Structure 1
């Protein structure tokens, strides 16, 4: 009888939310789902953050090449700075040994404030995700300090993005439409803080906004120079203290693609800041002025020249265009093609299918995956990567496919990279987007760079990947598939769960 009641309640809620499902706004705002022309570049450099552990001695070697480059690019900027980062906070989750984590968030804020003091005429624009104030007023004090220094801070207006959580969003819409607001005490702080153990509790309103599970997930820095083209840094790095030991991959590029990236970021700042609740401090005029000034200092997108055929080239891909590019590159992979992937989260069914078909055509596939066992000091269950790895490794008898796991020790292997080398392909594709529905299906904001015929950059990545794959640096950086392989009932229930979470959006990946 109880089961029937729950079924009837679910059906009632589904019918009640039908208007939401039929009329939800799906159109993306300006600056998103972009697929640029191919551009030439004057300089490109692969950037890698690594944490390497010596199991015998307990020695840890950390390299923050991406973050150190970010600080240097801010210092050397001459005409403007745009910084757009997803996680930018001092929270350390359940990590107790705080002394082992570099204070990335504070360092980045201090670098921008120093730049404002040294160069008061340079427009500086900060864009970030409202998760960094936990969808309420829990922002760290340096956001107020940035605003106090005259640096506009825009918290992305996520309400203008489609909803990814198919289970929660319709119900939230229903109760918001039909339950009188006075019946809910949304200011009641009852919820333990999931991001900061010592932090204030969350209100019901904050929890409600968190459960939409959508984000500006980009990690982009664009800076302008007087005598050279602007420069853009794109990758998987977040300037959050809890992420300080994560391994990441990014690229720094000088050229027209940085101008294209700047226009995309300015569009996002423009429509987000139209909602003044998304602006830190009383800086609405400064935001408009910064956007207008930067637009005057970079050429229009329509004037950017296309790359010459055969020249090393780079293109900008964002949101759903990233998924399209992944599929197109994998669909070209045939016998004699080498496909290497380094990925934090892998669950998108269309990309899984593209890999299966590439393996069946004879492509040589290697995947270096995070085992999905750690998240800021909390233990995870291996979803989704272990189930997807098992699905691909089941083809080992008919194709050439190998999987290894990143050898992490509490941190995450946070890269998102595809490398394809064949008779017709020399591709390196990297950026912020995990290979999941939320990251690839026009739900989150994401940014990637596509390098083609970029032999030097590709060789740099190949050397990095081979070193991890073979543990060639004297440290154990990767583990054999068998170490975290799933089978039997454990594999079955995790496969069912990840497939449901992937479809529904009721998950954190």
Structure 2
């Protein structure tokens, strides 16, 4: 009888999912999954946020190059500012309140508000993810302060993007058509997972959260009089709970910043079509800022392409990032060195590409987060330890080494691929973790691809080598054996990771 019940339930859920699977809109909105031409640049710098433990002095040593550069770029802006950040909130999760977490969220808001006072007519546009108000009205007060100062805040309309959670989304869509959700959805009965002291969440907020959808970009674009705009892209989230994470990013001056601005304006435009996604005066409030910024920058089709042999940079977003990573890895051979620094690595196509590159003789080094910490909570190592074990099993077939970032409660949050060979001199970095959600047109993501960029590549090489060898006198990386997964633990976690990766029923 119990078996029959489960069969009936499975059939019911399958029937519920069928209309969703048949009719879900899959067309991507404007400004997404973009592969720009190659552009030259007048300036580019690698930016490093680094947290290490100094054993001799028994204290944490921090560097916030990315965030400090963001503040400087806002201060220096003359014609416009576009800020698009995924996590931008003061929540600390389960981290104990202390003075050790820099208040990034408030600092960023204050920088924008100061800029508004200094330049009352400067168009400033803020784009962020609705998680920062927990899919309701529980956002920090600075969002209202920004809107009150004439800075439109657009919460990305994630309904325009495909759903990643294959288990939950079909059922949520189906039952929402037939079940009354008004009063029931408004019940505040769910403990707040982001802010232990915060207000409880409604069932409706929980329902939105379980879609696991995100605008995961981390982009700042600023304009100047008489010179090209500048763009900052990286892995930094300006959230207090992320303040100690180690991150990588870049600041670039040139045409790629204009391309980035057009992509961001498109995201703001289709998100603001729903007035509920706007903090402030509504859609027209956003439209005026968008129009002023567009008038101050050239059209995309007028941007000059890079000359042959010149250092160049290109914009890659969403699925175009995956395509680029695969193209570079598929070109790797016995004369190629591949270094990667990654927070989450689970995408099966990227795993396969690494496997084949190793078998062709490429020299591969992976510096991975051990996936053990998340805002004061302990994690189980999925997915990085399972993928690392899979690739390390190839060590007899080729050159593959894995080390773990030596974290102390924070996360090693970089997302970088470096490939150097006879025909390759590539550095690809930005917001995108190497997961299905991040790389298959499900999240909003933004990366920069540098080619023949000797100074940028050399800067990353020096950084990576220092971490890999602990050359700066700090313990910044650990041997593979320290967090290697094996035995039954490896088997069941591999099954779980593969299901989570396929289904989207996870946070990575």
Match of 1:8 in 2: 8
Match of 2:322 in 1: 323
SS at match of 1:402: strand
What is the deviation of 1:142?
Answer: 0.4
Match of 1:410 in 2: 409
Map 1:63-78; keep pairs closer than 5 Å: 63-78=63-78
1:434 aligns with 2:433: yes
In 1, the alpha carbon distance for the partners of 2:280 and 2:98 equals 30
Match of 1:270 in 2: 269
What is the deviation of 1:281?
Answer: 2.1
In 2, the alpha carbon distance for the partners of 1:146 and 1:181 equals 32
Match of 1:348 in 2: 347
Match of 2:288 in 1: 289
| TM-score relative to the length of structure 2 | 0.99
Q: Is the 8 A contact 1:339 1:363 kept in 2?
A: yes
SS at match of 1:165: coil
Map 1:89-488; keep pairs closer than 5 Å: 89-181=89-181, 185-488=184-487
In 2, the alpha carbon distance for the partners of 1:306 and 1:202 equals 49
In 1, the alpha carbon distance for the partners of 2:140 and 2:358 equals 47
In 1, the alpha carbon distance for the partners of 2:180 and 2:406 equals 51
What is the deviation of 1:8?
Answer: 1.4
Q: Is the 8 A contact 2:260 2:315 kept in 1?
A: yes
SS at match of 1:390: helix
Task: Write the deviation string for residues 200-242 of structure 1: whole angstroms up to 9, x where unpaired.
Answer: 0000000000000000000000000001100000000000000
Q: Is the 8 A contact 1:49 1:249 kept in 2?
A: yes
SS at match of 1:214: coil
Q: Is the 8 A contact 1:270 1:288 kept in 2?
A: yes
Could you tell me which runs of 5 or more consecutive residues in structure 1 were left unpaired when the two chains were aligned: none
What is the deviation of 1:283?
Answer: 4.2
Task: Write the deviation string for residues 422-464 of structure 1: whole angstroms up to 9, x where unpaired.
Answer: 0000000000000000000000000000000000000000000
Task: Write the deviation string for residues 119-150 of structure 1: whole angstroms up to 9, x where unpaired.
Answer: 01110000000000000010000000000111
Q: Is the 8 A contact 1:92 1:98 kept in 2?
A: no
Match of 2:85 in 1: 85
SS at match of 2:467: helix
In 2, the alpha carbon distance for the partners of 1:15 and 1:283 equals 39
Q: Is the 8 A contact 1:150 1:283 kept in 2?
A: no
Match of 1:507 in 2: 506
| TM-score relative to the length of structure 1 | 0.99
What is the deviation of 1:165?
Answer: 0.2
Matched residues, number: 508
Task: Write the deviation string for residues 285-310 of structure 1: whole angstroms up to 9, x where unpaired.
Answer: 33111100100000000001110110
In 2, the alpha carbon distance for the partners of 1:143 and 1:127 equals 11
1:45 aligns with 2:70: no
Task: Write the deviation string for residues 325-358 of structure 1: whole angstroms up to 9, x where unpaired.
Answer: 0000000000010000000000000000000000
Task: Write the deviation string for residues 447-500 of structure 1: whole angstroms up to 9, x where unpaired.
Answer: 000000000000000000000000011110000000000000000001000000
Q: Is the 8 A contact 1:319 1:442 kept in 2?
A: yes
In 1, the alpha carbon distance for the partners of 2:314 and 2:104 equals 29
What is the deviation of 1:419?
Answer: 0.1
In 2, the alpha carbon distance for the partners of 1:180 and 1:145 equals 35
Task: Write the deviation string for residues 74-121 of structure 1: whole angstroms up to 9, x where unpaired.
Answer: 000000000000000000000014311000000000000000000011
In 2, the alpha carbon distance for the partners of 1:112 and 1:181 equals 38
Q: Is the 8 A contact 2:47 2:250 kept in 1?
A: yes
Q: Is the 8 A contact 1:234 1:448 kept in 2?
A: yes
Q: Is the 8 A contact 2:274 2:283 kept in 1?
A: no
SS at match of 2:102: coil
In 2, the alpha carbon distance for the partners of 1:252 and 1:52 equals 23
What is the deviation of 1:370?
Answer: 0.1
What is the deviation of 1:56?
Answer: 5.1
